[in-house]
Amino acid sequence: MTSSTSSPRATGTYPVKRGLAEMLKGGVIMDVVTAEQAKVAEDSGACAVMALERVPADIRRDGGVARMSDPEMIEAIKAAVTIPVMAKARIGHFVEAQILEALGVDYVDESEVLTPADETHHIDKYKFTVPFVCGATNLGEALRRISEGACLIRSKGEAGTGNIVEAVRHLRNIIGDIRKVGQADSAELFQWAKVLQAPLPLVQEIAETGWLPVPLFCAGGIATPADAALAMQLGAEAVFVGSGIFKSDDPAPRAKAIVEATTHFRDAHILAKVSRGLGAPMTGIGMDEINQRYAERGW
Amino acid sequence: MSNVGGPHRLVGVLALQGAFVAHERALAIAGANTRQVRQPADLEGLDGLVMPGGESTTMSRLLTTSGLYDEIKALLSDGLPVFGTCAGMILLASEVLDGRPDQRSFGAIDVSVRRNGYGRQVDSFEADIDVVDFDRTFHAVFIRAPKVVRVGPNVEVLAELDGVPVVARQGHVMVASFHPELTGDARLHARFLQEV
């Protein structure tokens, strides 16, 4: 008595794009620059990898223009692992995004870590079958990205610093304003839309549901298991770890520990256990020591 | 009411990684109480367990490090009702193709599944399916979904898509290739609660 269905299949729809972000919740997405690193990430329990040519710490050190990675390298990483593979395109560089889609990556990160290609416009993400994640420093920026078709938002933090302070600032900005919008009456929501420079229907949706219409992850500065758990306790639903793993002394144990900390983020005993003996984290830099804030890219 | 067997039962949702919050919402709509399960102590007193979508390799690793694997294996042998979706189905299958060599699954239902059998994210899709005994179609969202490539003789197929099983049951174990937790339609959760 089986029901067999032959139904039209719709790809690239909002539920399908947003659905993969739902599946990444509670997980760690790790930056990798080689197939070997991608394997270490998967072995350590990463729920996805971000393929890029240089980790943000190296982009920061080397300077110059940072672009989409070589397709050959992305293909090699795709072949090395079974988990989802993301890759970065420059802000506004819709052709890099088209190439990444053609390569079959699972998510495109329209990322401020790369050098922007357009200082006015972000990519029209509705034109793509592949879903997009975008960074945000505050609620208005998050809603503008969602209105362009982003299906996942990450707080930007300050990539390549190993310093969690900006990620905390951005998470608190976004989540604090979500709470305030939730308290507003219907007349005040018009003013919120104006202040946030965001579409009114999205502001009204937040007032009704108490959350963004898409998941909110944290990125930019996570270097330790405690950093990951801090982001999760503040309300992030998953974490991206960039330079923090493969710029540390001993990446594999640190990667595993950050995965444990992201799952057991409220259990201080487990956090204490997994934080032991990991070797030196990436050195990290203070915000007054950097001359380029990536978080300021994007509009 | 279709969910005569199950309201107000306590159902655990494996919360190591993945879409566990969405499952809690669907179970609440279907009338169950829920608890997130991250450690063995969280299994105490459960009437049923849900294994959500997410990354099966990540969950497999965390099942071992948390000490949950052996405890859940024992509960499944004792007949604890369980519902696995997508990655959860992979965790419950007797055979996993294209998995990692160290990937563990409970072998609770006699099916072989191929990880990412429907392709990568650009191939992910939604479609309406007919489910046995449902009076209207169920809208199913498939995300990098596992594909059932073999079902054992004791497995009951509850829905197919283009001839391939997408919902199946064997005794107290129910699995789906897709994500009923994402669409707000709690009929499959209610069906599961009838077993709980």
The count of other CB atoms within 10 Å of the CB of residue A2 is: 16
Query: What average pLDDT is seen over chain A?
Result: 95
Q: Where are the domains of chain B?
A: 10-193
Asked if B130 and A3 come within 8 Å (Cβ–Cβ), the reply is: yes
**Closest partner CB to A23 (pick from B54, B129, B163):** B54
Average pLDDT across chain B, whole number: 95
B3 pLDDT band, cuts 50/70/90, is: very low
**Is residue A8 very low, low, confident or very high in pLDDT (cuts 50, 70, 90)?**
confident
pTM: 0.95
**CATH architecture group of domain B10-193:** 3-Layer(aba) Sandwich (3.40)
Contact B65, B32 (CB under 8 A): no
State the pairing for strand pair A239-241/A152-155: unpaired
- For every residue of B37-79, DSSP letters joined together read E-SGGGGTT-SEEEE-SS-HHHHHHHHHHTTHHHHHHHHHHTT
Task: Write the pLDDT tens digit of every residue in A234-249.
Answer: 999 999 998 999 999 9
Residues in A 261-290 with any Cβ partner in B closer than 8 A? 262-264, 267
Residue pLDDT, tens place only, A170-226: 999 999 999 999 999 999 999 999 999 999 999 999 999 999 999 999 999 999 999
Task: Compute the nearest-CA separation of A265 from chain B (Å).
Answer: 11
- Name the amino acid, one letter, at B133: D
Chain B contact set for A47 (CB, 8 A)? 17-18, 54-55, 58
In this structure, what token pair is assigned to residue A205?
Answer: 């949706």
A-facing residues of B in 122-181 (CB < 8 A) are 122-132, 134, 137, 141-144, 157-163, 165, 179
ipTM, interface predicted TM-score of the complex: 0.94
B-chain CB neighbours of A265 within 8 Å are none
Comparing CA positions, the residue from B73, B164, B63 lying closest to residue B113 is B164
pLDDT-wise least confident of A169-183, B46-60, B98-112:
B98-112
B191 contact residues in A (CB cutoff 8 A)? none
What is the chain A residue with the closest CA to B144? Answer: A20
User: How many residues are listed for chain B in this entry?
Assistant: 196
Residue B135 CB partners (closer than 8 Å, separation 6+): none
Helix residue spans in chain A (DSSP H): 14-24, 35-43, 56-62, 71-80, 94-102, 139-147, 165-183, 186-196, 200-209, 225-234, 243-246, 251-263, 268-274
Percent of chain A predicted with pLDDT > 70: 98
